[in-house]
Amino acid sequence: MKNIGIILCIASICFSSIFAYGDALNPYIEKDNNQIQLVDQQYNEYINYADGYKINYPKHMGIDSSLSTVKTIIADEERKIEIYYDDFRDTQHSSIAYSNYSNAFIRNRKDHIKQYENTIFVNGMKTHLLVWSRKKLEKVKNDKNYYVSAEIMKNNNEVYTIFIKSETPFKNYEDYMDVINSFQLIERSETAQINTKFKSVEKNLNEETRDFYEQYFLKSDHLKWGIFEQSAPEEFWYLNALESKLDYTFEFLVRYQSLDVPFPMEEMINAYKKNRYVELTLQTMHMGQDNASITYDILDGKYDDYFNEYVKKIKEFEHPILFRLNNEMNGDWCVYSSYYTSKDTELYNELWRYLYNKFEENGVDNVLWVWNPHDLSFPNFKWNHYLNYYPGDQYVDIIGLTGYNTGNYYKGEIWRDFDEIYPVLYDEYMSIFEQPFMITEFGSNSVGGDKIKWVNDMFDRFEQNPFSNIKVAIWWNGIDWDPNQNPARIYRLDRNEEMINTFRERLKFFNKEKEEGIENGTI
């Protein structure tokens, strides 16, 4: 234990960002070997040995270090300070590039009001300072819409970010600079860790949905396969022919939709009549339109009528739905990523909770909520870390895994073997989440390597059963096209007979496993 003076105990309540302010125990501070000491009657000093810094903060505020590998939060009811450390050594990023890319949202002058921007120095370190605001959002309680971000550049490869959000306007320059100017480097001597674990909360589900959840997720010891085939579940003629060739019936399908269309009732009924379950993926965006303001608009109540009708139709459907909302949110290719909304990941969570609460208010009891980051965050910055987008245990029933072998059609992309993606991802998620898992979509490109070998390696892994908490795996049977409409990422399994034969032979294992489960009464 390091001898640094008077040690104070400040508290937080885990990851929920609901803090106990004042002199209550924060179990994570001591667990990380980080320290708090008294400065004066107004400030305490927080010392983070893992990330190598110390900083003063108003002593009435609480500290949450439950996700200390990602960030430290210092907060009270009115204000929140998030502190991130990024190390870009062995990457193509730099501190300056990080700062420029992180603050690109400010170009959206419709929604963001820039109040101040400058380059300053904090204890000799070059620092980019940005102060801005946005309008308060109707659906966000205690909306913290006044922002300050300071990117403190230790060197060309290491940068610290102090991100401050406030419910009320900052009084003056000193109102935030007193904290920022207190930031100092210290020697790094500890290892940060995740100090919490997320788990399911029991839900009020109808009998059919409860049985479905238990059979396929909570009690299942047999991997089930699903497929994304664009024509299904609207039509089944192509999928039926493909399944006949594969001698396998996919029980799970994927249906994507935007805000341009209502709940797809006819397709959901069509799937149900054919004994298929749908992973209904709602992406809060409009196709072919400017979506820069979409998250703000939803949280300002402009889509209440749409969602009221949407939720009503889901309840009318009655049967089980795997509801996947705004997947791959940690990728800047998604308009609901915080890259577009003040790099404030809490707004993603607010949207999730807003919609979840609508389901609750309308008595929807046939939905299982699937939360699904991408395995790679882009940009790979700490403020965009996938755990920042976790809305809370109450709101998540199933953890979705998504990692693609994109091949090397595009510059900068590389061929990734199955074992380079899923074993590491699975182990990491198992250390953090207790909910059941599903691979919500995945596949391998045909461009850049031996796809047949990739598929065989995948099946070998699943047959060896190292991923017992993955209950469903869904192959994405589609093509990503380049701007000239040339096939760039070919994920289809039906492009040639060799691939079809490979899938057919390897799926026999899962057909046999299913038959044995039925005989034993476990399915």
pLDDT digits (tens, 9 = 90+) for 133-168: 999 999 999 999 999 999 999 999 999 999 999 999
Which of the two residues, 8 and 226, has the higher pLDDT score?
226
Q: Is 441 a catalytic residue?
A: yes
Distance from C-alpha of 199 to C-alpha of 203, rounded to nearest angstrom: 12
- Are both 180 and 270 inside the same structural domain? no
Is the Cβ–Cβ distance between 119 and 133 less than 8 Å? no
Span 488-500, mean pLDDT? 97
Per-position b or e across 285-296, b if 16+ CB within 10 A of its CB: beeeeebbbbbb
Percent of the chain whose pLDDT exceeds 90: 88
Residue-wise pLDDT tens digits, 211-259 = 999 999 999 999 999 999 999 999 999 999 999 999 999 999 999 999 9
- Are both 265 and 125 inside the same structural domain? no
Q: Is 235 a catalytic residue?
A: no
Angle between helices 237-246 and 497-520 (to 10 degrees): 80
Q: Checking DSSP bridges between strand 43-48 and strand 53-58, what pairing results, if any?
A: antiparallel
Residue 447 lies in a domain: yes
- The number of folded domains in the chain is 2
Residue-wise pLDDT tens digits, 323-344 = 999 999 999 999 999 999 999 9
What is the rounded end-to-end Cα distance, in angstroms, of the chain? 53
pLDDT number for residue 90: 87
Q: Is the pLDDT of residue 37 over 60?
A: yes
- Are both 298 and 375 inside the same structural domain? yes
Residue 202 lies in a domain: no
Span 465-493, mean pLDDT? 96
- Are both 238 and 157 inside the same structural domain? no
Mean pLDDT (the chain, rounded)? 93
Q: How confident is the model at residue 28 (pLDDT cuts 50, 70, 90)?
A: low
Q: Which of 45, 267, 350, 441 is catalytic?
A: 441
Q: How confident is the model at residue 19 (pLDDT cuts 50, 70, 90)?
A: very low
Structure tokens at 263: 């709940």
Q: How confident is the model at residue 20 (pLDDT cuts 50, 70, 90)?
A: very low
Residue-wise pLDDT tens digits, 310-324 = 999 999 999 999 999
- Are both 297 and 180 inside the same structural domain? no
Q: Give, for 312, the enclosing helix (H) or strand (E).
A: helix 304-317
Span 373-400, mean pLDDT? 98
Distance from C-alpha of 156 to C-alpha of 277, rounded to nearest angstrom: 50
Q: Is the pLDDT of residue 11 over 60?
A: no
Q: How confident is the model at residue 16 (pLDDT cuts 50, 70, 90)?
A: very low
Q: How confident is the model at residue 14 (pLDDT cuts 50, 70, 90)?
A: very low
- Are both 172 and 216 inside the same structural domain? no
DSSP annotation of 38: E
pLDDT number for residue 104: 97
Name the phi and psi angles at 92, rounded to 5.
-90, 0
Residue 192 lies in a domain: no
pLDDT number for residue 466: 85
Distance from C-alpha of 290 to C-alpha of 282, rounded to nearest angstrom: 18
> Model-level pTM?
0.93
Residue 441: give the domain boundaries: 207-520
Residue 461 lies in a domain: yes
pLDDT number for residue 233: 98
Residue 8 lies in a domain: no
Q: How confident is the model at residue 29 (pLDDT cuts 50, 70, 90)?
A: low
pLDDT number for residue 92: 84
Distance from C-alpha of 177 to C-alpha of 303, rounded to nearest angstrom: 38
CA-based torsion, 331, 12, 54, 175: positive or negative: positive
pLDDT number for residue 514: 64
- Are both 327 and 435 inside the same structural domain? yes
Which CATH number do you get for residue 218?
3.20.20.80
Residue 79 lies in a domain: yes
- Are both 166 and 287 inside the same structural domain? no
- Are both 306 and 429 inside the same structural domain? yes
- Are both 337 and 383 inside the same structural domain? yes
Which CATH number do you get for residue 141?
3.40.1000.10
Ranges 6-10, 319-323, 380-384, 504-508: which has the least confidence:
6-10
Of 152, 185, 218, the residue at which a domain comes to its end is 185
Residue 399 lies in a domain: yes
Ranges 175-179, 491-495, 512-516: which has the least confidence:
512-516
Of 119, 150, 185, the residue at which a domain comes to its end is 185
**DSSP per-residue letters across 221-235:** -S-EEEEE-TTTTT-
**List of residues 6+ apart from 471 with CB closer than 8 A:** 216, 217, 220, 223, 224, 436, 437, 438
- Are both 377 and 423 inside the same structural domain? yes
Q: How confident is the model at residue 107 (pLDDT cuts 50, 70, 90)?
A: very high
Residue 4 lies in a domain: no
Query: Distance of CA 425 to CAs 15, 211, 382, 419, 435, Å?
Result: 21, 29, 17, 10, 15
Span 483-502, mean pLDDT? 97
- Are both 221 and 358 inside the same structural domain? yes
Q: Which of 229, 328, 346, 350 is catalytic?
A: 328
Of 185, 216, 245, the residue at which a domain comes to its end is 185
Residue-wise pLDDT tens digits, 40-78 = 999 999 999 999 999 999 999 999 999 999 999 999 999
